[in-house]
Structures are given as C-alpha cells and as structure tokens.
Amino acid sequence: MSKNTRRAFLLGTGAVIGGWATRRYYTDPVPIGTNYVTPTADPLILNDASELSPTRVAKHITVSDKFDAQSTAALRAELKDAEANRRPVIASAARHSMGGQSIAQGGTTYTMAHDWVELDTTNLTYRTGAGTRWSTIIRVLDAAGFSPAVMQSNNDFGVAATYSVNAHGWPVPFGPMGSTVVSIQIMLADGQLVTCSREENADIFLSAMGGYGLIGIITELEVRMVPNARLEPTFTHLDPMNFGPEFVRMIKGTPNVQMAYGRMDISKDRFLEDAMMITYRPTSDQSDLPPAPGSGWLSKRARDIFRAQLGSDIAKHGRWWFESSLGPRIGGGDTTRNALLNEPVVTLDDRDPTRTDILHEYFISPDNFGAFIAACRQIIPSSYQELLNITLRYVMPDNESWLGYAPVDRIAAVMLFSQEKSLRAEEDARRMTQDLIDAAIRLGGTYYLPYRLHARPDQFAAGYAGLRPFAAKKRAMDPKLLFRNALWDSYIARA
C-alpha cells in the first residue's frame, strides 16, 4: 500500500481523467457580494470552520498539558472569575463546528489542545486528554494494532468535542461515538471535577454526551478501541429510492462488514439519480498490517479534482464515472481500517477566500430515505448553493444521549456545499436549509446541530424530543448559565 490513502485514490483519480475537460469548461462562479466577513488579525476575534462566525471573546485560553492539580485549580479559578463577572465560558478543540457552538461571545473560550493517549490493552480502552486529536489517537493505537471504534470521517477533531457533538462515522455497526465512551472527567459550573460513566453520575454523563459543552468542561475521557484490520472494499450500485433499506440489509445481513458508506451522483442533469454503496470487510490475511499512512500526492490531486466540480457539470460527471464505474474496477485493493480513518480535513480545502465549505446533515429512517431524496431533488437545485458531495452512512440507534438524533436506525446524509461568503448566499442557504429540515421532520427524521444555525427554533424543537428535558437539566446543573455558546443563545435558552 502506498502513502496515498485508498480514499484519496477513489476520490481523486477520476479527477486526473476529467482534468482536461474540467479546465476547459470550468466556469468561475461570480463572486459579487462576497463581503460577509472581513478578515481580522485580532486574536480576540475567534472564528470557526464556516469562516462565517467571527465572534469577539474576552479571553482565549489554550490548554495543552495534561490536567494536574495546578491546572485544575487554574480552570476552577477561571470559572469562578467568569461567574463573578458574568462572562460565559465554553470549551473548544478544532472549532470545526460551523455556527458558533465552540465560542463564548464576550466570554472565555478554552481551546483544548492535549496530545496524550494511554492504552489499556487488557480492557481494550484508552485514556486521553480532552483536546487530543484523532490523528494522535490513530498514531498511538495503530502502532499497537488497535483502531478507534467510532470517529468522524476526518482526523482533525478533538475527542471530547466528538463526544460533545456525539459524532458518528462510517465504522459499522455502531451508534454515535458516545456509545464507545466508558467514562469522562468533567468540571461543572460549581468547580467540582467529577468522574461520570453509565454507573456513576450517569445523568451528567448522558447529558454531556452530545451536550455541546453546555454541561461542563471535559478534561479527559476513557474510550473503547477495537483491533485494527486489513480490509477490502466491495462496490455495489443501488437505486437511490431503495438505498435506505438495501444499505441496512447489506450491513446487517452480511457478516463482518467493518466500514460502510454510500455516495450519490450530484451532477445537475442527473441529480441524485444514481447511488453507490461501498463496504469494507476483513481479508483472510491479517498479518503484518502496515502503518496507517497520512495524505500523499494523490490526496492533494484529489483536492484539485474535487474542487474542479465547482460550476462544472462535466467535472461532476467525470468524478461520478470514476467513482461508480472505473474506481470499482481498478481501485479494489486492500487497505487498513486506520488508513481509511486517517484523513485530515485539509485534503479537500478550497483555498478560495471568497467561498467556504458548509456541511449539512440529515438523519432519516431507512424506509423513508427514498422520499427524502425525492424532496432533495426539488429543494437543492432551486437554491444557489453548489453541492459538491453527498456521503451516506448508517447510524445505529442511540437511546442514551439527551439530544439524540438517532432514536431508531438512521441513514445519515452528509452534504458538502461550497458557499459564497456573502449575505445573499447566507440567506439562500438559510431558506434551503429550512426546507430540507422541514422535509426531514415530515418524514420523522431530523438534522445535525454542529453546522450553521439556520434552523427555525420550532424545527429544533420538532427534531429533538430531548430539547426541553436537556434545557431543564442544564439549568439545574448550571443555574447561572456559565457555559454558553451560540447554540444555547439561539435555541436552547428559549426552551
């Protein structure tokens, strides 16, 4: 296996093939009105991955060392001072959430930047600092023959942040990442540092799981791991209208599937008319697993191809042809679980100061997924947003977290849009998002909370049955509302 990841290979090689046509027919979107955000070097103006959330904070504190008695006391003193001065506080890690969920306006924002992992190979768990990134966790686990049980599709995120949004990934069969966490240590609004698990302080453990930092500041976690494995892919064409039930049937009905995702054709003239499912199973030879590579030259080439899709249906056709036809014929070699997980976000970075990438995600039950796709065919093309990718995942039910998004089996539709950085684009994105959320809710589904805060408050309430109990729990645990972010201010405070 080369230094280039299998994902990059599948995503990118088609670009090379489509490159000439892409360059020739590429049409630059008109950047008129791109004045939404003025860049600033002010260290007290923090932003997030949307590049659309500039927010002034009073203090920005980075914590990299493992918490000890002294740094724990300093954290406690900061909470006390913030409370006395009515400053909100929030913890963050990579700030890849996209609507101010990781920033305390006018308050203290912590960036957790830990970098330690301790393995317990007997119990198949590891302890890690709250801010440790998945790239570090994969490196340490990979060297010992293990792999994260559940994480996102990229390795840049903090592990406590992953717990705090209760992220899901494409390893199967799993629910969200919180289901793989054994215990956490968290500092509450009153300065107590408590250990929480399903057996001890379970109410705190489960409200902080997917609690967006509003319950307290997590300092470290104990998380389950699984053996790393050599895997090989199987590619299957599916009718988009039957994708949901077929995807679940193949995951549940086929032994040993360890990773699975789907993709759809997003070209404008064949919008969502074709779908692929890719599943990974262990090979018979599990000896001498190679170390997980990072991104190689092909990943960088993949970026060019991915970006060439902007404004070009020819490039979109080229990419789909590769992903659905050529890729399955030539790209079916083996890889490892860790190699598939070890991909940084920067691989696909747009490097365009006038545009930004915005993610959306909708969770729909498998049986209703076809109806959701039918709604997307109406809603998305009637917006000005440029859809560059849809990835589909399976999420097992989660009945633990208070703000759960998967009370039953769900298909997660992850959409990546390239958006102009302008007010007109924001308003257009808001309208489109609300229409997509209405469609999801009509079908008994919901949407994901770490992205732009474009939902109407009634949509949050309709999509999250746990909203009011969560808000009540937060008020009981943090009566002076010390821990606050834009998600609280925009929605939960009203519940």
Residue from 8, 117, 161, 429 touching ligand FAD (CB under 6 A): that is 161
Q: What type of residue sits at position 370?
A: G
Cβ contact 306:10 at 8 Å: no
In the complex, least distance from residue 353 CB atom to ligand FAD, rounded to whole angstroms: 18
184 binds ligand FAD (CB under 6 A): no
Dist. CA 57–CA 36, nearest whole Å: 20
Ranked by CB distance to ligand FAD, the top (closest) residue is 213
Residue from 15, 52, 117, 160 touching ligand FAD (CB under 6 A): that is 160
Helix axes 243-253, 369-379, angle to 10 degrees: 140
Cβ contact 240:275 at 8 Å: yes
What residues between 249 and 278 interact with ligand FAD by CB under 6 A?
Answer: none
- Say which residue the tokens 């892919």 belong to: 233
In the complex, least distance from residue 330 CB atom to ligand FAD, rounded to whole angstroms: 26
Q: Which stretch binds ligand FAD (CB under 6 A): 14-22, 87-95, 195-203, 311-319?
A: 87-95
Q: Which burial class, exposed, middle or buried, applies to 256 when counting CB atoms under 10 A from its CB (0-12, 13-18, 19+)?
A: exposed
Q: Which stretch binds ligand FAD (CB under 6 A): 150-158, 198-206, 256-264, 330-338?
A: 150-158
356 binds ligand FAD (CB under 6 A): no
Question: In the complex with ligand FAD, which residue's Cβ is closer, 94 or 308?
Answer: 94
474 binds ligand FAD (CB under 6 A): no
Give ∠ CA 256-258-259 in degrees, rounded to 5. Answer: 140
Question: In the complex with ligand FAD, which residue's Cβ is closer, 317 or 410?
Answer: 410
**Alpha helix segments (H runs only) across 63-133:** 69-84
218 binds ligand FAD (CB under 6 A): yes
Torsion-angle region of residue 212: left (phi > 0), alpha (psi -120 to 50) or beta?
A: left
Residue from 14, 169, 210, 327 touching ligand FAD (CB under 6 A): that is 169
Residue from 13, 153, 267, 342 touching ligand FAD (CB under 6 A): that is 153
Cβ contact 12:306 at 8 Å: yes
Torsion-angle region of residue 455: left (phi > 0), alpha (psi -120 to 50) or beta?
A: beta
Interface pattern 431-470 for ligand FAD (x via CB under 6 A): -------------------x--------------------
**Edge-to-edge strands of the sheet including 108-112?**
59-63, 108-112, 89-92
In the complex, least distance from residue 50 CB atom to ligand FAD, rounded to whole angstroms: 9
Q: Which burial class, exposed, middle or buried, applies to 290 when counting CB atoms under 10 A from its CB (0-12, 13-18, 19+)?
A: middle
CA atoms lying within 13 Å on the CB side of residue 59: 17
Question: In the complex with ligand FAD, which residue's Cβ is closer, 289 or 359?
Answer: 359
Dist. CA 417–CA 427, nearest whole Å: 14
Q: What type of residue sits at position 493?
A: A
Question: In the complex with ligand FAD, which residue's Cβ is closer, 158 or 293?
Answer: 158
Dist. CA 427–CA 2, nearest whole Å: 44
Residue from 6, 7, 87, 96 touching ligand FAD (CB under 6 A): that is 96
217 binds ligand FAD (CB under 6 A): yes
Dist. CA 364–CA 411, nearest whole Å: 5
In the complex, least distance from residue 20 CB atom to ligand FAD, rounded to whole angstroms: 29
Interface pattern 120-139 for ligand FAD (x via CB under 6 A): ----------x---------
Residue from 13, 101, 267, 389 touching ligand FAD (CB under 6 A): that is 101
Residue from 345, 408, 461, 493 touching ligand FAD (CB under 6 A): that is 345
Cβ contact 161:94 at 8 Å: yes
Q: Which stretch binds ligand FAD (CB under 6 A): 84-92, 193-201, 236-244, 399-407?
A: 84-92
Residue from 88, 148, 158, 244 touching ligand FAD (CB under 6 A): that is 158
Question: To which H or E segment does residue 436 belong?
Answer: helix 423-442
Residue from 46, 49, 387, 437 touching ligand FAD (CB under 6 A): that is 49
E strand residue ranges, 164-256: 181-187, 193-197, 217-227, 230-238
**Alpha helix segments (H runs only) across 333-403:** 337-341, 369-379
Question: In the complex with ligand FAD, which residue's Cβ is closer, 57 or 112?
Answer: 112
Question: In the complex with ligand FAD, which residue's Cβ is closer, 79 or 359?
Answer: 359
Give SS3 for 88.
coil
Backbone angles phi, psi at 248, to 5 degrees: -65, -40
SS3 content of the chain, % helix, strand, coil (to 5): 35, 25, 40
Q: Are strands 146-148 and 125-129 parallel, antiparallel or unpaired?
A: unpaired
485 binds ligand FAD (CB under 6 A): yes
Q: Which stretch binds ligand FAD (CB under 6 A): 67-75, 95-103, 334-342, 371-379?
A: 95-103
417 binds ligand FAD (CB under 6 A): no
Dist. CA 488–CA 361, nearest whole Å: 20
Question: In the complex with ligand FAD, which residue's Cβ is closer, 48 or 317?
Answer: 48
Question: In the complex with ligand FAD, which residue's Cβ is closer, 153 or 289?
Answer: 153
Give the residues lining the site for ligand FAD (CB under 6 A): 49, 90-97, 101-102, 112, 130, 152-154, 157-158, 160-162, 164-165, 167-169, 212-213, 217-218, 345, 359, 450, 485
